[in-house]
Structure 1
Amino acid sequence: MEIKYAMSSPPASVPPEATLEEAARRMADAKAGALPVVQDGRVIGVLTDRDLVVRAMAHGLSSRTRAEEVMSTDPVTVTADTPVTAALHAMRSINVRHLPVVDDGRLVGMVSFDDLFTYLSAQLGALADIVHAVRRAPGGSPRPHGDAPR
């Protein structure tokens, strides 16, 4: 199970010189909680809705402040073939909910914790359906003791 099946592509992004107002509008339009900050096709930072509130609004920064002044720098990135479990581990270890997806350093997507949860939930649902069908088929395995019927 790889990130490419769960990521958003193409992702919304902003350049470093975008104002916080422009970034917030872009986030709202994309229904995204984070935007990669991209310069010359490369991810140089990530700006989250939390950054807008905690780093900007809470400190009285102007809506004309540039994204590069508030963004998180040196973002951890993943590739499209990164296993979902590795991305979840990375998110948990650095306490983030969004990771840019890159190919040879260039932005190709964005993946969020919610994207991964939705993807994994669908996969588990499909697996449960297969197990249920096998158990109901003639000669299928009986339900293990304690399993509730579906």
Structure 2
Amino acid sequence: MKVKDVMTTDVSYLSSSSSIFEAANIMRQLNVGAVPICDEANSPVGVVTDRDIVLRSVANNVHKNENVGSIMSSNIVTVSPDTDVHEAARLMAKHQIRRLPVVENGKLVGIVSLGDLAVEKIHVDEAGNALSDISKE
């Protein structure tokens, strides 16, 4: 099974000049814990998570109107739609992340999460193992 079979395709994203408040608001509206950050060409340049907002913004007294680019994680790991789901789970465990932006021809086309992998019964154990590895730190 490929990532394209389980990924979310309707992905909202922000630019690095969007505010931290905008990022938090979109997460609340969509009930998600991460938002990809893309450049003008819709290429991912980072990801901001709810954890980034708490640890890099709130805990450091960074104002909510500052650019999300100042708190995003920029060393992102991506996959293509044709990546095998087992490989996606392995990457999540290796890099201790819960979500992977899906990129095709340099453009964001979706996102795959541990939850997407766990929905497929065949991948429940693998997703659980990845979550266990992620949660170790």
Instruction: Tell me if both proteins adopt one fold, taking TM over 0.5 as the criterion.
Output: yes
Letter in 2 for 1:92: A
Report the equivalent of 1:9.
Answer: 9
- Alignment pair present for 1:114 and 2:128: no
Q: Percent identity?
A: 34
Report the CA distance between 1:73 and its aligned residue.
0.4
Report the equivalent of 2:132.
Answer: none
Report the CA distance between 1:33 and its aligned residue.
1.1
Taking structure 1 as reference, are residues 84 and 30 closer, same or farther at Cα in structure 2, changes over 3 Å only?
A: same
Is the Cα contact below 8 Å between 2:117 and 2:123 reproduced in 1?
Answer: no
Q: Distance in 1 between matches of 2:123 and 2:28?
A: 30
2:64 counterpart SS class: coil
Q: Distance in 2 between matches of 1:113 and 1:4?
A: 14
Q: Which stretches in structure 1 are left out of the alignment for 5+ residues?
A: 126-150
Report the CA distance between 1:124 and its aligned residue.
7.1
Report the CA distance between 1:103 and its aligned residue.
0.3
Q: How does 1:1-150 map to 2 (within 5 A)?
A: 1-40=1-40, 41-118=42-119, 120-121=120-121, 123=122
Could you report, residue by residue, the CA deviation over 1:32-66 in whole angstroms, capped at 9, with x for unpaired residues?
11111011211000001111111111111111111
Larger radius of gyration: 1
Q: Distance in 2 between matches of 1:65 and 1:93?
A: 31
How many pairs are equivalent? 123
Q: Which stretches in structure 2 are left out of the alignment for 5+ residues?
A: 125-137
Q: Distance in 2 between matches of 1:108 and 1:95?
A: 22
Taking structure 1 as reference, are residues 25 and 36 closer, same or farther at Cα in structure 2, changes over 3 Å only?
A: same
Taking structure 1 as reference, are residues 43 and 124 closer, same or farther at Cα in structure 2, changes over 3 Å only?
A: closer
Q: Distance in 1 between matches of 2:33 and 2:112?
A: 11
Letter in 1 for 2:43: R
Is the Cα contact below 8 Å between 2:8 and 2:112 reproduced in 1?
Answer: yes
Q: Distance in 1 between matches of 2:51 and 2:77?
A: 17
Could you report, residue by residue, the CA deviation over 1:81-107 in whole angstroms, capped at 9, with x for unpaired residues?
111110111011011111100001100
